[in-house]
Chain A
Amino acid sequence: MNAPDQSPLTSNFSPSQSPLGYPTNLLAPGQTYETVNATIADVPLKPAPGPWWVGFIIASLLLLMFLVAVTWLFIKGVGIWGVNVPVAWGFAIVNFVWWVGIAHAGTFISAILLLLFQPWRTAINRFTEAMTLFAVCCAGLMPLLHLGRPWVFYWLLPYPDTMRLWPQFRSPLVWDVFAVGTYFTISLLFWYLGLVPDLATVRDRAKKLWQKKLYGFFALGWRNSAAHWQRHQIAYLLLAGLATPLVLSVHSVVSFDFAVAIVPGWHSTIFPPYFVAGAIYSGFAMALNIIIPVRKIYHLEHLITGRYLNNMANIMLVTGMIVAYGYFIEAFMAWYSGDIFEIYMMMNRAFGPYGWVFWLLMLCNVLVPQALWSARIRRNALLLFVVALFINVGMWIERFVIVISSLNRDYSPSTWAMFYPTKWDWMTLFGSVGLFLTLLFLFIKFLPMISISETRELVAEPEKATTP
């Protein structure tokens, strides 16, 4: 990385290690406005590298599988899945909660870290915001597919119909509609607002006219004037303020789907906090799973430095501990309540027919993440990637445990029964991953995946980039 000049802007003097052995640099030495612009803004303008094509093709094949599964579902009905009575909720709901959870990292990083003036959001916020949007898309689809009669989904929306009926606002499912809807809208605005200045940069760097026009159109005529910046910043802060409560509200509401019901293993007050923690947990895990390879493929190590990975790992460690505490408290309360149904539920969860799933969950979500105590692992991208992978799987399993192993043996023993997923269940799950990745790859290809303007700030204010 040869800097064109020795201007004071270059930040090549800071120690890259904190006394505690943390990486401190948010920006590799030797970055200038030009290098930053070039590395980021040229990705959309240059032809995509080979690895991108490989990933994109795989993703779109998965997406195709998703389409097949969904078509088949609409032809025959939810009976093609393994759902039954008593286990009337299956993979669709598990996937829904999983995706909504993943969506959380984005807003958390963009909004909360922004309000807390944490500079270490700079290189990753764009990414995670995009992730948020796509995850919410997947999440939003799931309840739709889950319906027995998806073609009347709009009955969940309040509108003056010919039957003079309204949704039943006591039902958490109606709350979901609003929670997820709001969340998606705000995230979209937030993401787009952040994009505007960068789109302008891309526009200005573009050579072909159609590119100029395309990016120019979406740049909304951004001219980098002080007035623009001033309004932009205010709007950005306001949106951050709006988004912050959402981080907490959305997953709390989702957790109400369970907490409000009387099913043993669902009816629990700990759910909202521990769902939110779990959400951020899985959100960061997913972020790492995506950022680490992309960082490698596009050689962004000097922009997304070890410092970011380290901090994200720390967040995962914290939220992971909260989640573990949640598991513990659930078990404790089951015993402490003295309620035979709760006690049986816990025994069944751990030692019943789905016991092995429960212990797999403990392995993925409680045991493996303890590795993050070690700074060496936090700094090793590969290991971090593996740990994050475990956590993502673990968080999906957690929802499986909550939904299925609570339902399959609830109050009435004479109706207890097992749930076995069908291949259509699996196709829906992996298909939705396909949808997510396809959107993500398109984003990487056509939009600046790191906030150019904010990275330039780091170049401008080196001390900010190197606070230990």
Chain B
Amino acid sequence: MNHPASNGRARPQGAPDGSASRPYQRETDEFVPGSNEWPDDLSRREFLRLAGATLALAGLNSCTKQPLETIVPYVKQPEIVIPGKPLRFATASQFGGFGQGLLVTAYEGRPTKIEGNPTHPASLGATTVWSQADVLDLYDPDRAQTVTTGGAIKTVSDFWDALNLAIEPLKQNGGAAFRILSEPISSPTLLAQLDRVLQSFPAARWAIWDPLNRDTIAGAEVICDFTKAKVVVAFDSDFLYAHPYALRNARDVANRRRVIEPHGAGMNRFYAAEPTPTITGSNADHRIAVAARDVLPLAQTIAAELGIGVATPRNIENADWIAAVVRDLNASRGESVVIAGETQPPELHALVAQMNAMLGNMGNTVAATPALSLPGSQIAFGDLVEEMQRSAVELLVIFGGNPRYDAPADFNFADAFNKVKLRVHHSVYFNETSRHSHWHVPATHFLESWSDTRAFDGSVSIVQPLIEPMYVGVSAHEILEAVTERSPRSAYEILRSHWSGPEPAPDFEAKWRRALSDGVVTEFQPPSFAGAGQSIAPAPSATPLEKRQRSEARGSQLEILFRPDVSVRDGRYANNGWLQELPRRFSSLTWDNAALISPELAKAAGLNNGDVVELTFRDRKLRAPLWIQPGQAKHSVTLPLGYGREIVGGVGRNVGFNAYALRTSDSLWFADDLTIHKTADRHWLVTTQHHHDVTGRGILHDGTLDEFLADPHYAQKPEELPPLGYTLYDPSEYPYKGYKWGMVVDLNVCIGCHACTIACQAENNIPVVGKQQVGVHREMHWIRVSTFYSGTEENPRITHQPVPCMHCENAPCELVCPVAATAHDNEGLNLQIYNRCVGTRYCSNNCPYKVRRFNFLEYNGRLSPSEKLVKNPDVTVRSRGVMEKCTYCIQRINAARITAELDQRKIRDGEIVPACAQVCPVEAITFGNMNDPRSRLMRLKRSPLNYWMLGELNTQPRTSYLAKLRNVNAELVRSD
């Protein structure tokens, strides 16, 4: 009698708990929203039948017998496959046009989990939240599944014919009316193919459009070595999170901040100036909130102080911060990094380059990125649109992206697009652009087809598929080939022939295989082509000088900021349930975006969270709900991009507002002259965390490096702990003779990226519950990342704290369970046995850490067949009415144990890596055996920074924390 209550993927429509982002009125709807709809699949007759059953005490289905199951063996079994054992393959994905090395786990040819590739320099074994979520996209039933033209289903060969038909006439004038639009491309093979196409059509042109482009940096793109940097100064740069090299940056910065012993303890000092809180800023020792328009003047002042001849603007705030920065920079020449974000104008990047140069960082800590040679005959996106307006474009082939949704509003791309004679769109999802194209060709997911890609640091990887295309899928390689050749070869042949060259070297096969297994090509270079060489910097969207000089005068004017969303980025992940439900940083919002405003502004204008305001910018209007964000620059309003998608799957529909509607080509990232006024409406914003203040409880221990050096054990002081083994029960009941699992979370290096949360979700089959359920506090994440503010509301100190199950030795949850469904094991794991749980929820009440999650409804009820494929076969899929929680990834523990047993040895230190620890870019989470004094874990547990969360409750957790340290500048403490 399980009528699925909430569709696992939380389609806003359909499900009883449906209709996401419906304006929420507490006064009219005092009930859990959606708790009162009648399910579409329940007839009145059925209800009465069940009512009868209820009388006879419903659901004695515990008596029913197991259904018959079938075993389906292979017809021909592949050698490498051992049924029941997963295989791992190296591959790579794209992030803003740059490669990310991955290792993907597959069961019987079914990829279920994506991990980072330890040998890949841009990954080092970690991944971004997006890489974790990619595997969900692979199985998304809302993906484009067939070639379509005007809604009609066609075959791929139909498309080839249509393409050839369209191309023939263009050949006369060298393809003067032929244009190609793509996202940033770094695939050597694809670029070579593109070059070939452009050669054969001399008059043809190609353009790149990426709504999150890094054009402002253009040539000045640098790669920083933070391991050598004593001082880091970031100007509105999120280089720890939203950056193609973020994983590596984060690891390097963390390694300069990791403190375990007082002896030889050192940390870099990290300054950040930014208009809206970012992961990067929240980790700075000294962060100041300045309007985006004031960042350049700020940098200029610092530059001037450093002795670079620039006009210094008058009356700049934060004088003491500037002084401190200058002092520290001067003190550590050649050992510092100054970095600016792509959201700042080229002037700043030029200036930053000068600063790095004169500080002697160039060559030491900062180096230019290897230039990527692109084919010639490239034009700027703006020019392309202008051509389209003139109806000068007859054939436009768009690879990926979604320009009709995310092109700058002032281009009015929509009608320019409609003037193109034949429009072809090639993308994984059928989106706004596809809807208005003549042909839409489903692209293969990167786990489905062959390609290659190039990372931020220039290292190249082969992208190898793990699964046959689930639906009709074509790769960009094949389409580009189809432009010149009549019938394209398969992506694999294209790629291989490109790498091997016309006559393959004798040892090519060996090298090729090694490249595949390593995931990075080391032994040979991708053959280069006679391209135009250096990349072409498109016309920079610069803010003219006179504007800037007026900036102080307009200090009180509102400034609009456009930022990629931390979850859905530019909107490409809008249909990904994991990312939609992943709490946004700081605000903990889910299933929505909101205009972020500063507390001061909120007070001044009498605004509250959830108020819907009308934003007016350059005569364009947009209604958006508000969120008050501590740490936001006083007069800056942040609009996260990527929401309000219209042509999108069931998950992303009606979620958030579309900030692109206001975004113009000269205000890609920020601009002045925003006006907002309050409307009567309210919007129901749901968050997973309402209170950001620890209220002085023994949950979070933090301090400064100086305090630590003065008294290494200060972090263990605050609460008095009861003596060990202080219990009513027989201590010899659990001697923990064998392994004794434990975990340490190093708050000092944790950057709060939430990768652990989503990695855990992917590993442990954690369901997505949808906005309504999150709204009534039923999110299921096993490891949450709590964000705590301290200090002033205007510019608080921000601390992130990942909280998994503590696996207490005196677990309060255990002794209250009437059926012993949560119990201890001999290695000290606190277990939750789903199939024994009757769902009294007593354990959750009694858990002081509130890490237990309950299946209030059938969250896995309505999975489509393809969605079931993403589930990890080694973890039980929980059904309605049972409690669940972090298990320290017991499936991985048992797997490692069995391997060890089979070759008759002990489990090695570091052999077991829980999903959260594996994904962590900064190695903040360490798991291991507490009975092994030489283990990495115990080295950390012996640190004087090691403390127990709420230790005074005598729960004796196995999970402990290393206290958070800040390397504050003594002169700044007053103002901090």
Contact = CB atoms under 8 A, between A and B. Distances in A.
Interface of A: 67-68, 70-71, 74-86, 88-89, 143, 146-153, 155-156, 163, 165-168, 170-174, 177, 257, 260-263, 340-341, 344, 407, 410-417, 420-424
Nearest to A174: B818
Contact of A82 (B695, B773, B776): B776
B846 A261 contact: yes
Interface in B830-877: 836-842, 844-846, 848-850, 852-858
Contact of A260 (B699, B816, B880, B883): B816
A171 B693 CA distance: 34
A149 B839 contact: yes
7 contacts: A77-B858, A84-B856, A89-B845, A148-B841, A156-B818, A168-B817, A410-B850
A421 B35 CA distance: 11
B856 A83 contact: yes
A413 B803 CA distance: 12
Contacts of B547: none
Interface string B236-264: 00000000000000000000000000000
Given A77-B880, A417-B690, A422-B32, A171 B815 contact: yes
Contacts of B691: 413-414, 416
A437 B855 CA distance: 34
Given A82-B776, A153-B838, A410 B848 contact: yes
Contacts of A262: 812, 846, 848, 953
B51 A68 contact: yes
Contacts of A79: 5-6, 35, 773, 778, 856-857, 880
Given A150-B58, A150-B59, A423-B36, A88 B841 contact: yes
Nearest to B822: A168
Given A78-B881, A84-B776, A85-B853, A413 B695 contact: yes
B62 A85 contact: no
Contacts of A177: 818
Nearest to A64: B51
A147 B881 contact: yes
B857 A412 contact: no
Contact of B692 (A71, A80, A411, A414): A414
Given A67-B51, A74-B58, A89-B845, A420 B819 contact: no
Which 9 interchain pairs have the tightest Cβ spacing?
A148-B839, A148-B881, A79-B856, A79-B857, A151-B59, A88-B841, A414-B786, A411-B848, A415-B850
B777 A152 contact: no
A137 B787 CA distance: 46
B55 interface: yes
Given A148-B854, A420-B31, A75 B841 contact: no
A67 B856 contact: no
Interface residues of B, number: 77
Contact of A155 (B58, B787, B803, B838): B838
A413 B850 CA distance: 10
B928 interface: no
A300 B845 CA distance: 48
B924 to A, nearest CB: 18
Contacts of A414: 689, 691-692, 699, 784, 786-788, 801, 803
B55 A420 contact: no
B31 A149 contact: no
Nearest to B786: A414
B695 A172 contact: no
B16 A76 contact: yes
B62 A151 contact: yes
B686 to A, nearest CB: 11
A245 to B, nearest CB: 23
A152 B35 contact: no
B30 interface: yes
B50 interface: yes
A261 B689 contact: no
Contacts of A422: 31-32, 35-36
Given A85-B854, A261-B845, A417-B777, A148 B837 contact: yes
Contacts of B815: 168, 170-171, 260
A86 B53 CA distance: 32
A414 B850 CA distance: 9
Contact of A171 (B42, B803, B817, B845): B817
Contacts of B883: 148
A85 B776 CA distance: 9
B326 to A, nearest CB: 38
B820 interface: yes
Given A148-B839, A156-B838, A413-B695, A167 B818 contact: yes
A156 B853 CA distance: 22
A172 B16 CA distance: 35
Contacts of A167: 818-820
Which of B30, B690, B856: most chain A CB closer than 10 A? B856
B845 A420 contact: no
A420 B26 CA distance: 10
Given A75-B42, A340-B696, A423 B31 contact: yes
A13 B841 CA distance: 62
A170 B690 CA distance: 34
B882 interface: yes
B74 interface: no
B3 interface: yes
A417 B32 CA distance: 14
B542 interface: no
Contact of A85 (B697, B848, B850): B850
* Residue among A77, A257, A263 with max Cβ neighbours from chain B (10 Å): A77
B371 interface: no
A83 B306 CA distance: 60
A324 to B, nearest CB: 27
Contacts of A88: 841-842, 844-845, 854
B315 interface: no
A103 to B, nearest CB: 21
B849 A171 contact: no
Contacts of B694: 413
Nearest to A411: B848
Contact of A78 (B47, B801, B856): B856
Contacts of B3: 75-76
Nearest to A88: B841
B904 interface: no
Contacts of B975: none
Contacts of A412: 699, 803, 848-850, 950
B61 interface: yes
B5 A76 contact: yes
Contacts of B62: 151-152
Contacts of B837: 148-149
A83 B777 CA distance: 9
Contact of B839 (A80, A147, A174, A424): A147
Interface in B674-704: 689-697, 699
A82 to B, nearest CB: 6
Contact of B818 (A75, A81, A171, A411): A171
A74 B59 contact: yes
Contacts of B724: none
Contacts of A410: 848, 850
Interface string B804-829: 00000000100111111000000000
A165 B857 CA distance: 27
B54 interface: yes
B51 A71 contact: yes
A148 B855 contact: yes
Contacts of A172: 816
Nearest to B17: A79
Given A148-B840, A167-B820, 14 more contacts: A74-B59, A79-B5, A85-B853, A86-B850, A88-B854, A146-B840, A151-B60, A156-B818, A173-B842, A261-B816, A412-B848, A412-B850, A412-B950, A423-B36
B26 to A, nearest CB: 8
B1 interface: yes
Contacts of A71: 47, 50-51, 54, 58
